[in-house]
């Protein structure tokens, strides 16, 4: 036999397409793809009437010349199959260079935008492809003798030809599943250094380990795994010893007895639940392998029976031992290890009677194992619900709009013999749960129009699914403080709408009075659940979701956010254990959109390692992820009033992250205490924001932040603020009623529900933020004043030349400014600020705050401090408000002076201004505009020796104009 010949094949997997252009006149298209490469053509099947077809077909192409493969071009054309005899409609094409093909094992799904064939083609959408090549070794061509032998053998053998066909992939994946090829291109890995630590670079030789770790991570990310399946590639793999105990059987069963299993690994010992009649335990135990102090596992089965004197007698059926060094490893997606029957040995080493067996499975795995979340965990206190990792969802929120139109036939008298109240003042009150809103007052008169009061006012509530049962509408009389009548509206019967085009129906409801008045009139109202709004339940500047409530208005996600919560370092103790030593039981909460995640609680460790990874769909890049670290105080049920203590919080704005890059680093945890700002430790996290389509990402920047209804029927600022705080309270109450509960203090911390409360520190921080924004304008003003006063004569001369150039070539002004901005901003890219994830103590203004100001910030609302303290704070607030009041008055005076020029409040000043305007019009008619620009510019840049130290005439004139300050009491 001769040497093997290496042949190369290119495999093109046509996965799916998205948002194709309708071509059949009925809003759909029947698409198929034709792929051409190296003189070969392949065709996919036709997917009928589907604008998002799913093919999942593999097409193979033989490479004739391996060396010239990089210069070849693969062309894919998508057509609409009309099946009528007419020509197929063109849906788009894609051209891919052969130099971009990767080897087998490194392929990943890439979405290519469909291109036009001509200028007049109407094309949209994208197609997902996986392309790779594989080298195969084939035997050399047979010689003449070998060919003859093969012919003889072929004649002797029966003629049979088998044709291999690949197994077709399912056209539609199951609900909730995401194809494994749906991952974006392999991202880059970038380790983000700690920002607030300012440590020198690590010169330890062990630093090379981090570099190699990042390279391994990059290799793992290139395999194209599905991000949503929990690849755990942003965190370290933690080894766990898993033991699944299923059941046991006994040769001689004793009635009335129960059995339990006991696991012993060194000093670690745990018991299963005790079950009668030897039913199945089906419990999984996960032991942190790094914390084990033995190399053997012993599983024993115990039988307990209650005697006549209520004494419980326990007997050991036997045990079975495992050497941990021989335990097999299991790595998903491998199938779970099947449990097996093991014979129990005697306690003294003797053999038990046959029939005493236990069914169990033992394996080594990681936190990525499917059994980990429901297993007994050695580092989280076992099966305590308050320490387990959980995912929470915020309740779905709606705006409920109640339009009170009018009332009719009101029975205003309290009884049949008592006279009616003359000209009563009525208002309508509506209540949904704890929310209560009122309309304005209306006086009922004797005329026909006034006897049926009309309001036409909107009352807006926040309704959360599942809804409250009833919306209660009450008509009350202000004059005597009595209830005229009430009506109940079932919330589930209220119509839903997504826009303002469909007017909700109005209905009449009978008002019910007291027992003496079963009928008190009727009320005309209009109710609807608004699905076109997004119900804000976060601070406006920290929102993480801007989608409308109605699902039909939601657009597909534009990317995926992955967060790896790796661990924490140097946490400070926040409570005492056994009354002697400090301890911390830390867990992490991450919130983005309606999804909340809580890691498991690592008990009694100052350097916990969670290594848990979570994913979120991203619909808008200009949103914020919030991560908080807390100490668990609820896992002990003996103290119901114990609350979780905050250890720090981070915020990440997704728009500051580069796509397809991993940000990994350690960040400081700062918390504000009554004693001042304090660092509670560090948290180590990893972030990755992936986006499959740059077009969708860029388009998101052009869309409005909120849904359409917020702009065509907006809420007022005060009403929006009330609705936001109402939504916060609803979310807090619902999550606090979950099992296990997410504490009220945790939810309020994550939602920043106390940002509206007055704080001297926040006021100073916001003031210095304003000063910082205005500092650039002040710098520009100082620069102009320096030019005007000839501080640097060469610069002033250059400005004179620039003034002449602008006058001579005015059409070059805007191009020069735009090019200057392009060059300056482009050059500053290398000096851009990296992602600032940590809280900034200087920006938060916590380094120069007094103890009294801190005490005021931590004081509740209303204040619980003594009257003397409140009086001091009130006087200080009055002093600050007085300065702010003066500043507002000065700003208002400038506008009033400008307005005084046009309303003749000062007849002489306005007369002077009118005459100046008349002469100015004559001068500008005679003098060319260029001459005016040059003259005014030279006059402004004149040398200081030609200047007067006194203010100019226009400034004096403007300052003498009358404001309205003299008319204020």
- What φ, ψ does residue 534 adopt, rounded to 5°? -105, 125
745-751-755 Cα angle (round to 5): 95
- Please give the Cα distance from 272 to 270 (Å, whole number): 7
Enter the tokens of residue 315: 């007997």
Q: How confident is the model at residue 416 (pLDDT cuts 50, 70, 90)?
A: very low
Enter the tokens of residue 428: 């309508």
pLDDT of residue 969: 67
- The predicted-structure confidence for 159-184, as pLDDT tens digits, reads as follows 333 333 343 333 343 333 333 333 33
- Please give the Cα distance from 302 to 674 (Å, whole number): 54
H or E stretch at 914? helix 907-926
| Contact status, residue 660 vs residue 185, Cβ threshold 8 Å | yes
Q: Which residue has the higher pLDDT, 201 or 529?
A: 529
As a three-state string, the secondary structure of 747-782 is HHHHHCCCCCCCCHHHHHHHHHHHHHHHHHHHHHHH
| Contact status, residue 604 vs residue 675, Cβ threshold 8 Å | no
Name the DSSP letter for residue 324. G
- Please give the Cα distance from 218 to 784 (Å, whole number): 51
pTM: 0.68
Chain centre to alpha carbon of residue 784: 45
- The yes-or-no verdict on residue 963 having pLDDT over 90 is no
pLDDT of residue 183: 39
Cβ atoms within 10 Å, residue 529: 22
Mean pLDDT of 58-72: 85
- The predicted-structure confidence for 790-846, as pLDDT tens digits, reads as follows 888 888 888 888 888 888 888 887 888 888 888 888 888 887 776 656 677 777 777
Q: How confident is the model at residue 563 (pLDDT cuts 50, 70, 90)?
A: very high
- Please give the Cα distance from 15 to 171 (Å, whole number): 10
- The yes-or-no verdict on residue 515 having pLDDT over 80 is no
- What φ, ψ does residue 579 adopt, rounded to 5°? 70, 10
Of the candidates 687, 621, 627, the residue with the CA atom closest to the CA atom of residue 654: 621
Q: Is 715 left (phi over 0), alpha (psi -120 to 50) or beta?
A: beta
Mean pLDDT for all residues in the chain = 80
| Contact status, residue 273 vs residue 302, Cβ threshold 8 Å | no
- Helix (H/G/I), strand (E/B), else coil: 720: helix
Only one residue has tokens 């046009």, namely: 902
Name the DSSP letter for residue 368. T
Please tell me the least confidently modeled range out of 237-246, 575-584, 878-887. Answer: 878-887
391-394-397 Cα angle (round to 5): 160
| Contact status, residue 711 vs residue 578, Cβ threshold 8 Å | no
pLDDT of residue 431: 94
In sequence order, what are the residues at sequence separation of 6 or more whose Cβ sits closer than 8 angstroms to the Cβ of residue 316? Answer: 300, 301, 302, 303, 347
- Please give the Cα distance from 803 to 177 (Å, whole number): 66
- Please give the Cα distance from 56 to 130 (Å, whole number): 10
804-811 contacts at long range (C-beta below 8 A, 24 or more positions apart): 804/934, 806/933, 807/930, 807/933, 807/934
807-815 contacts at long range (C-beta below 8 A, 24 or more positions apart): 807/930, 807/933, 807/934
Enter the tokens of residue 429: 């009150």
Name the DSSP letter for residue 255. T
- Please give the Cα distance from 796 to 529 (Å, whole number): 65
Chain centre to alpha carbon of residue 406: 43
Only one residue has tokens 């924001």, namely: 689
Q: Which residue has the higher pLDDT, 167 or 494?
A: 494
| Contact status, residue 593 vs residue 544, Cβ threshold 8 Å | yes
Enter the tokens of residue 26: 């009925």
Identify the CATH class of 396-415+423-495+507-530. mainly beta
Q: Is 623 exposed, middle or buried (0-12, 13-18, 19+ CB in 10 A)?
A: buried
- The yes-or-no verdict on residue 460 having pLDDT over 90 is yes
DSSP conformation letters of 399-412: EEEEEEEEEES---
- Which of 197-206, 290-299, 804-813 is the most confident on average? 290-299
pLDDT of residue 627: 94
- Please give the Cα distance from 32 to 88 (Å, whole number): 10
- What φ, ψ does residue 199 adopt, rounded to 5°? -85, 150
Of the candidates 863, 847, 844, the residue with the CA atom closest to the CA atom of residue 855: 863
Of the candidates 592, 591, 609, the residue with the CA atom closest to the CA atom of residue 600: 609
Give the orientation angle of helix 760-788 with respect to helix 851-858, to 10 degrees: 120
- Please give the Cα distance from 60 to 41 (Å, whole number): 10
* CATH architecture entry for 239-378: Sandwich (2.60)
Alpha-carbon torsion (62, 68, 70, 75), positive or negative:
negative
- The predicted-structure confidence for 322-381, as pLDDT tens digits, reads as follows 988 888 888 777 778 889 988 888 765 555 566 788 899 999 988 888 888 888 888 887
Task: Break the chain into its structural domains and give their ranges.
Answer: 7-136, 239-378, 396-415+423-495+507-530, 551-705+714-751, 760-967
Q: 3-state SS of the chain: helix, strand, coil percent to 5? A: 25, 30, 40
- Please give the Cα distance from 38 to 898 (Å, whole number): 76
- Please give the Cα distance from 630 to 633 (Å, whole number): 9
- Helix (H/G/I), strand (E/B), else coil: 394: coil
- The yes-or-no verdict on residue 429 having pLDDT over 80 is yes
In sequence order, what are the residues at sequence separation of 6 or more whose Cβ sits closer than 8 angstroms to the Cβ of residue 600? Answer: 377, 379, 380, 387, 388, 389, 587, 610, 612
pLDDT of residue 735: 92
| Contact status, residue 909 vs residue 900, Cβ threshold 8 Å | yes
- Please give the Cα distance from 644 to 742 (Å, whole number): 10
Of the candidates 652, 654, 681, 653, the residue with the CA atom closest to the CA atom of residue 667: 681
Beta strands in 593-639 (DSSP E): 595-598, 609-618, 624-631
pLDDT of residue 201: 38
Same fold: 239-378 with 551-705+714-751: yes
pLDDT of residue 347: 60
pLDDT of residue 424: 81
Percent of the chain with pLDDT over 90: 24
Half-sphere exposure of 928 (CA within 13 A, CB side): 5
- What φ, ψ does residue 394 adopt, rounded to 5°? -65, 145
Only one residue has tokens 């509670």, namely: 680
Q: Which residues pair with 301 in a beta bridge?
A: 261, 318
Q: Is 338 exposed, middle or buried (0-12, 13-18, 19+ CB in 10 A)?
A: exposed
CA distances to 472, 534, 677, 726, 730 from 435, rounded to whole Å, are 11, 19, 37, 8, 10
For 551-705+714-751, the fitting CATH number among 3.30.70.120, 3.40.50.2300, 2.60.40.150, 3.20.20.70 is: 2.60.40.150
Enter the tokens of residue 857: 């910030």
- Please give the Cα distance from 736 to 634 (Å, whole number): 12
Q: Which residue has the higher pLDDT, 6 or 918?
A: 918
- The yes-or-no verdict on residue 578 having pLDDT over 80 is no
| Contact status, residue 126 vs residue 113, Cβ threshold 8 Å | yes
Which strands, in side-by-side order, build the sheet including 73-80?
Answer: 40-43, 31-37, 73-80, 89-97
Name the DSSP letter for residue 447. S
H or E stretch at 868? helix 867-900
H or E stretch at 106? none
- Give me the CATH code for the 7-136 domain, please: 2.60.40.150
pLDDT of residue 159: 39
- Please give the Cα distance from 341 to 583 (Å, whole number): 42
- The yes-or-no verdict on residue 82 having pLDDT over 90 is no
pLDDT of residue 228: 45
Name the DSSP letter for residue 732. H
């Amino acid at each position: 036999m001769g040497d093997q010949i290496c042949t190369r094949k290119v495999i093109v997997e046509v996965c799916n397409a998205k948002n194709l252009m309708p071509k059949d006149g009925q809003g759909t298209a029947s698409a198929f793809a034709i792929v051409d490469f190296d003189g070969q053509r392949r065709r996919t099947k036709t997917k009928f009437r589907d604008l998002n077809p799913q093919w999942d077909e593999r097409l193979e192409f033989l490479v004739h010349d391996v060396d010239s493969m990089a210069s070849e071009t693969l062309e894919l054309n998508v057509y609409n199959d009309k099946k009528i005899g007419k020509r197929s409609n063109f849906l788009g094409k894609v051209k891919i260079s052969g130099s971009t093909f990767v080897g087998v094992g490194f392929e990943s799904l890439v979405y290519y935008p469909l291109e036009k064939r001509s200028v007049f083609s109407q094309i949209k959408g994208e197609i997902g492809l996986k392309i790779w090549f594989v080298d195969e070794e084939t035997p050399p061509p047979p010689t003449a003798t070998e060919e003859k032998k093969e012919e003889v053998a072929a004649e002797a053998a029966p003629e049979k030809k088998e044709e291999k066909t690949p197994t077709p992939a399912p056209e539609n994946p199951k609900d909730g599943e995401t194809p494994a090829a749906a991952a974006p291109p392999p991202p880059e890995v970038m380790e983000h250094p700690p920002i607030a630590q300012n440590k020198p670079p690590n010169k330890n030789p062990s630093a090379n380990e981090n570099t190699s770790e990042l390279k391994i991570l990059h290799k793992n990310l290139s395999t194209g795994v599905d991000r949503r399946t929990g690849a755990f590639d942003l965190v370290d793999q933690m080894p766990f010893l898993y033991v699944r105990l299923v059941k046991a059987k006994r040769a001689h069963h004793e009635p009335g007895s129960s059995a339990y299993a006991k696991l012993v690994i060194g000093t670690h010992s745990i018991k299963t639940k005790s079950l009668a009649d030897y039913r199945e335990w089906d419990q999984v135990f996960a032991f942190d392998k790094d914390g084990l102090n033995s190399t053997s596992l012993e599983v024993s089965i115990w039988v307990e029976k209650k005697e006549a004197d209520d004494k419980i007698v326990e007997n050991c059926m036997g045990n079975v031992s495992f050497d941990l060094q021989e335990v097999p490893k299991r790595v998903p997606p491998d199938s779970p290890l099947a449990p097996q029957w093991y014979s129990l040995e005697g306690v003294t080493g003797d053999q038990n009677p046959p029939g005493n067996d236990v069914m169990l499975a033992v394996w080594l795995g990681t936190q990525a194992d499917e059994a980990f979340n429901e297993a007994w965990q050695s580092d989280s206190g076992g099966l305590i619900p308050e320490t387990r990792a959980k995912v929470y969802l915020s309740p779905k929120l709606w705006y409920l709009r109640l339009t009170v139109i009018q009332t009719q036939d009101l029975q205003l008298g309290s009884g049949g013999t008592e006279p009616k109240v003359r000209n009563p003042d009525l208002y309508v009150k509506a209540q949904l749960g704890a929310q209560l809103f009122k309309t304005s007052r209306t006086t009922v008169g004797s005329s026909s129009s006034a006897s049926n009061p009309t309001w036409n006012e909107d009352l807006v509530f926040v309704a959360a699914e599942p809804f409250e049962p009833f919306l209660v509408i009450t008509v009350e009389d202000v004059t005597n403080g009595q209830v005229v009548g009430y009506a109940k509206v079932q919330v589930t019967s209220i119509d839903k709408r997504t826009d303002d085009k469909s007017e909700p129906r109005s209905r009449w409801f009978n008002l019910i009075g007291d027992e003496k008045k079963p009928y008190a009139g009727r009320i005309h109202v209009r109710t609807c659940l608004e699905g076109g709004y997004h119900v804000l339940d976060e601070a406006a500047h920290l929102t993480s979701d801007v989608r409308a409530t109605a699902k039909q208005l939601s657009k597909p996600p534009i990317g995926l956010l992955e967060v790896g919560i790796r661990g924490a370092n140097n946490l400070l103790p926040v409570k005492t254990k056994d009354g002697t030593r400090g301890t911390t039981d830390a867990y992490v909460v991450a919130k983005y959109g309606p999804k909340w995640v809580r890691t498991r609680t690592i008990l009694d460790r100052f350097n916990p390692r969670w290594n848990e990874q979570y994913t979120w769909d991203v619909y808008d890049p200009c949103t914020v992820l919030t991560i908080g670290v807390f100490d668990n105080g609820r896992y002990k049920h003996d103290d119901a009033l114990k609350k979780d203590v905050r250890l720090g919080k981070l915020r990440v704005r997704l728009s500051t992250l580069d796509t397809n890059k991993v940000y990994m680093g350690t960040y400081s945890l700062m918390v504000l205490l009554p004693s001042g700002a304090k660092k509670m430790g560090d948290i180590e996290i990893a972030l990755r924001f992936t986006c499959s389509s740059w077009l969708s990402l860029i388009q998101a920047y052009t869309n409005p932040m909120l849904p359409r209804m917020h702009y065509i029927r907006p809420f007022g600022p005060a009403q929006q603020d009330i609705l936001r705080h109402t939504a916060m309270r609803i979310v807090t109450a619902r999550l606090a009623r979950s099992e296990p509960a997410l504490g009220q203090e945790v939810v309020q911390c994550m939602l920043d529900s106390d940002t509206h409360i007055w704080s001297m520190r926040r006021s100073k921080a916001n003031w210095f933020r304003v000063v910082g924004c205005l500092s650039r304008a002040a710098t520009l003003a100082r620069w102009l004043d320096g030019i005007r006063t000839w501080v640097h004569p060469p610069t002033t001369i250059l400005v004179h030349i620039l003034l002449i150039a602008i006058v001579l070539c005015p059409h070059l002004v805007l191009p020069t400014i735009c090019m200057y901005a392009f060059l300056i901003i482009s050059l500053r890219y290398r000096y851009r600020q990296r992602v600032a994830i940590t809280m900034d103590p200087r920006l938060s203004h916590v380094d120069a705050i007094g103890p009294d100001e801190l005490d005021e910030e931590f004081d509740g609302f209303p204040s619980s401090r003594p009257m003397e303290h409140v009086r001091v704070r009130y006087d200080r607030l009055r002093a600050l408000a007085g300065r702010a009041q003066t500043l507002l008055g000065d700003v208002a005076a400038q506008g009033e002076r400008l307005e005084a020029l046009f309303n003749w409040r000062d007849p002489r000043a306005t007369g002077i201004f009118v005459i100046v305007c008349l002469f100015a019009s004559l001068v500008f008619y005679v003098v060319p505009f260029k001459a005016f620009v040059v003259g005014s510019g030279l006059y402004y840049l004149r040398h200081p020796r030609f200047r007067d130290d006194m203010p100019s005439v226009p400034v004096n004139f403007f300052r003498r104009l009358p404001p309205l300050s003299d008319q204020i009491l």
